[in-house]
Structure 1
Amino acid sequence: MKQVKYRNSASKLLLLGTVFLFSLLTPVFAQGDPASTEAVVTESAAGGDVAKGEALFKSLCAACHKRYKKMTGPALFGVTEKHDREWLYSWIKNSAAMIASGDAAAVAIYEEYNKTAMNAFPQLTNADIDNILAYVMVPKPPKPEGPVVPNPIDGGGDGSGVSSNLVLAALALVFLMLVVVLFLVNKTLRSFAEANGVELPETEARTPIWKAFVQNQFLVLVSAIFLLLASGYFVYGYFMQVGVDQGYMPIQPIHYSHKIHAGDNKIECKYCHSSARVSKHSGIPSLNVCMNCHKSISEVADATATADYSKEFYDGEIKKLYKAVGWDENTQSYTGDTEPVKWVRIHNLPDFAYFNHSQHVSVAGIECQKCHGPVEEMEIMYQHAPLTMGWCINCHRETNVKVEGNEYYEKIHSELSKKYGVDKLTAAQMGGLECGKCHY
């Protein structure tokens, strides 16, 4: 039998492709949870209870103080190194009395903070104060090394270290290698057969598929009709979605989480969008509304962090707010150096459509979620409803008008109820389908 040189190109390519894919996917499956480096501190050198001190600090002190950062009052970390405990006991229980007595340290603090005395806490015992001091003297944990958070705009929030696009590209490359391997194997087998005198079956000449299709007139007619109908369907669908921005989710210059504010903290929508009660427009909240809370809230709680957004990310967005309004954290005052925030509009009705927020919110009593969706669950705000004319008309047909306690509707409600023979009237029965209601 004639010897045929063994062709190992296919094997080499297959091996290289497998090794390449394995090297890409290994980091994905080799991820492990890093060992926690945080130390649990339960007691201080003075015997205070850190856990009890934390509870007291958050209920009594957190409105004006932070441990590691100046706020309305000074940062409290290291306070036991500046003052002895007996002085701290007296200061916390009655700071005004110490200032009146002429204590030099007390008067200096009073002068530094705009002659504002600290609230008195006579109800606290020395043991309670020791607990608070134990909590504020816990050293600040070091910041984690390496990247803090994946960029939410790029969609890299799975923490795997390898993007899904790279994995898909690797799989496509391996698939291409397999196709090449199959071609080389087929060529090798044919060469082997020819070298050993093996007769290969002859392939019969077949009519090209395109020629067979053209020769079948019925199939050509049916295909043409199908293509025309499909084209009309897609063209109609394309034109019907022009101007419909459902799902539109722009990236704002300052990341604002409705989930944290309206969901976790249960802030009423109309606290920020106050003009929705009395105006056609809901309005963009002034940054001064944000500063009502964020004068005292310069960072978020550790529990706020998620897989996609770290604590440092949220804290950085608060810094953007401070820069925009010109707020100096160190002096706790406005510098006057402000920058406009170019918010990106999400909901935008055409100019020929009239919509009045106050009519729906105050008169009709419709919840914000009816049109804007589950805002309290949205990390990034997006357009929930299509806001098309058909969507509005269907709402008018299904929504009953609330007339209880509304003198404006008492007379017209009684007359229309007799006309339609119903107890409840929809917005459509009250004239909500008239063209002039929304277009005039």
Structure 2
Amino acid sequence: MKKVPYRHPISKILGVTVLFFLLLSTSIFAQEDASAEADSGSGQTEAAAETDGDPAAGKALFNQNCAACHALNRKMTGPALANVESRLAEDEGLDREWLYRWIKNSPGMISSGDAYANKVYNEFNQAAMTAFPTLSNADIDNILAYTAAPPSTPKPDEASATGGGQSAGGGSGSGVSNELILGALVLVFGLLVVMLILVNRTLRRIAEANGVVLEKEVGEKRKPLWKAFVDNQFLVLVSVIFLLLGSAYFAYGWMMQVGVDQGYEPIQPIHYSHRIHAGDNKIECKYCHSSARVSKTSGIPSLNVCMNCHKSIYQVSDETLAEGKQEYGVDYNQEIKKLYAAVGWDDQNQKYTGDTKPVEWVRIHNLPDFAYFNHSQHVSVAGIQCQECHGPVEEMEIMSQYSPLTMGWCINCHRETNVKVEGNEYYEKIHEELSKKYGVEQLTAAQMGGLECGKCHY
């Protein structure tokens, strides 16, 4: 009886066809996105042409000079600045020349008795706005163009309204909705699957009618693999010994990990990104964990430390927000609102309400009670960087325990790390005595008694 290999030629056709339709749909979606971006870009260009100044340059100047106290659509330390020129012209009859004088020398205008300047001064806690004499009239024109330009992304209600119109029209530019294209692709894929099943059955019937035995069916008549394994006693003995040794190895490794929390990464009640704060913004670790310099513990930063910056930083940039949602599933703006709720900060009126809520932070690094560790001894005296023990925190989105923090890990560090004794008054005398004793210039913590039990256990 003739034997032929069992193949699925239709599967190749199916794969090529599906790939073709996927590429086709991707190109259609890309064209629609490009046309939408072109439409929005042309709209922004037309809006910019209607104003005196460059909104793009104005945005950079606004973020550099104004964003610490002002926002476009909400009150902060100062008033909201969206359409500030048109609002002042309509409500107060003030022109752009008045804005030039106010931005360049606000204290001078207040002292001169200008009515509106004093009104703003009294409304905002009698704190004069910082003067910006270095800004030219062209710079101010650019800033005003930015405050007058429409937002780059539509508001939620506007987005829903425009989105509804596009869906009713059947897509942007192409005249065919994405749902219709996707439905057509699903239908074609289903038809191809049905065709594959029918062709497979037909080929099997033809093979059976001609007396052809498929290789797949021949293989099923061979001796089962498990029976061949059982009949080979040497192979069974070797396998049993291997399984016993492997089980003992993994059991020992598992038991040695009891109490070791390396890699522990709990979810905190308020998401805090070390990657953004310590990495992107270069905030020093000891700015928040200030007690690490003088205390046994590094301490949990109080929320007031967070509010030193977040009184003014109430939201992140669009790029950072999109990255957080896409990469980590986190809305950073919502996390800032959690901070405001905990500290009792009224963001709209820029004042504390007194209604505070404790934040139940989850502790990550936790040494046993019988082990003593002093942060100030290592940070201030030894000059060890935080990353030596805690890893690259500036790259961590969610803080985790980087090192095992076991006794053996600490002992190895004491044996291998040279103590920085040069210019360190703390070690000046002990360095001199131990240099005579050991006859070396470089000393380790182990040579200074760092392996004594009483150093960490007493």
Which of residues 241, 250, 263 in structure 2 aligns to 1:247? 263
Q: Is residue 269 from structure 1 mapped to residue 285 from structure 2 by the alignment?
A: yes
Which of residues 32, 48, 51 in structure 1 aligns to 2:53? 48
Superposed, 1:216-235 pairs within 5 Å as 216-235=232-251
Give the equivalent residue in structure 2 for 1:69.
Answer: 74
- What is the CA distance between 1:215 and its match in structure 2? 5.3
Hey, what's the Cα distance between the residues in 2 that align with 1:193 and 1:127? 89
What code does the residue aligned with 1:231 have?
Answer: S
Give the equivalent residue in structure 1 for 2:370.
Answer: 352
Count of matched residue positions in the alignment of Structure 1 and Structure 2: 397
CA contact (8 A) 1:42 1:50 kept: no
CA contact (8 A) 2:289 2:299 kept: yes
- What is the CA distance between 1:436 and its match in structure 2? 1.9
Hey, what's the Cα distance between the residues in 2 that align with 1:54 and 1:318? 23
Hey, what's the Cα distance between the residues in 1 that align with 2:198 and 2:445? 69
Which of residues 248, 253, 274 in structure 2 aligns to 1:258? 274
CA contact (8 A) 1:41 1:50 kept: no
Unaligned 5+ runs, structure 1: 1-9, 147-176
CA contact (8 A) 1:277 1:361 kept: yes
CA contact (8 A) 1:68 1:140 kept: no
CA contact (8 A) 2:324 2:330 kept: no
Give the equivalent residue in structure 1 for 2:316.
Answer: 300
Bigger proportion of residues as helix: 2
Hey, what's the Cα distance between the residues in 2 that align with 1:57 and 1:263? 24
Hey, what's the Cα distance between the residues in 2 that align with 1:203 and 1:193? 20
Hey, what's the Cα distance between the residues in 2 that align with 1:436 and 1:185? 83
Hey, what's the Cα distance between the residues in 2 that align with 1:205 and 1:238? 43
- What is the CA distance between 1:427 and its match in structure 2? 1.1
CA separation of 1:334 and 1:182: change in aligned 2, threshold 3 A: same
Q: Is residue 108 from structure 1 mapped to residue 110 from structure 2 by the alignment?
A: no
- What is the CA distance between 1:349 and its match in structure 2? 1.6
Q: Is residue 192 from structure 1 mapped to residue 209 from structure 2 by the alignment?
A: yes
Moved more, 414-423 or 378-387: 414-423
Hey, what's the Cα distance between the residues in 2 that align with 1:122 and 1:190? 91
Q: Is residue 372 from structure 1 mapped to residue 390 from structure 2 by the alignment?
A: yes
Moved more, 206-215 or 393-402: 206-215
Cα deviation per residue 1:363-411 (whole Å; 9 max; x = unaligned)? 1100001011111111221111121222111111110011123333223
TM-score of the two chains, using structure 1 as the length reference: 0.76
Hey, what's the Cα distance between the residues in 1 that align with 2:144 and 2:399? 41
Between the aligned residues of both structures, percent identity stands at 65
CA contact (8 A) 2:48 2:149 kept: no
Hey, what's the Cα distance between the residues in 1 that align with 2:218 and 2:122? 104
State the superposition RMSD in angstroms. Answer: 4.0
- What is the CA distance between 1:140 and its match in structure 2? 2.0
CA separation of 1:182 and 1:254: change in aligned 2, threshold 3 A: farther
What code does the residue aligned with 1:138 have?
Answer: A
Moved more, 340-349 or 319-328: 340-349
Q: Secondary structure at the match of 2:304?
A: helix
CA contact (8 A) 2:315 2:336 kept: yes
Moved more, 382-391 or 260-269: 382-391
Which of residues 353, 371, 381 in structure 2 aligns to 1:335? 353
CA separation of 1:120 and 1:308: change in aligned 2, threshold 3 A: closer
Hey, what's the Cα distance between the residues in 2 that align with 1:346 and 1:241? 16
Hey, what's the Cα distance between the residues in 2 that align with 1:75 and 1:205? 82
CA contact (8 A) 2:266 2:400 kept: yes
- What is the CA distance between 1:304 and its match in structure 2? 2.4
Superposed, 1:39-188 pairs within 5 Å as 39-40=44-45, 43=48, 45-83=50-88, 84-85=94-95, 86-141=97-152, 142-143=154-155
Q: Secondary structure at the match of 1:233?
A: helix
- What is the CA distance between 1:18 and its match in structure 2? 7.8
CA contact (8 A) 2:74 2:80 kept: yes
Give the equivalent residue in structure 2 for 1:160.
Answer: none
CA separation of 1:25 and 1:415: change in aligned 2, threshold 3 A: farther
What code does the residue aligned with 2:320 have?
Answer: T
Cα deviation per residue 1:133-157 (whole Å; 9 max; x = unaligned)? 22221222314769xxxxxxxxxxx
- What is the CA distance between 1:423 and its match in structure 2? 1.0
CA separation of 1:182 and 1:353: change in aligned 2, threshold 3 A: farther
- What is the CA distance between 1:431 and its match in structure 2? 1.4
Which of residues 421, 425, 428 in structure 2 aligns to 1:410? 428
- What is the CA distance between 1:69 and its match in structure 2? 2.0
Give the equivalent residue in structure 2 for 1:171.
Answer: none
What code does the residue aligned with 1:254 have?
Answer: I
Q: Secondary structure at the match of 2:68?
A: coil
Hey, what's the Cα distance between the residues in 2 that align with 1:96 and 1:48? 26
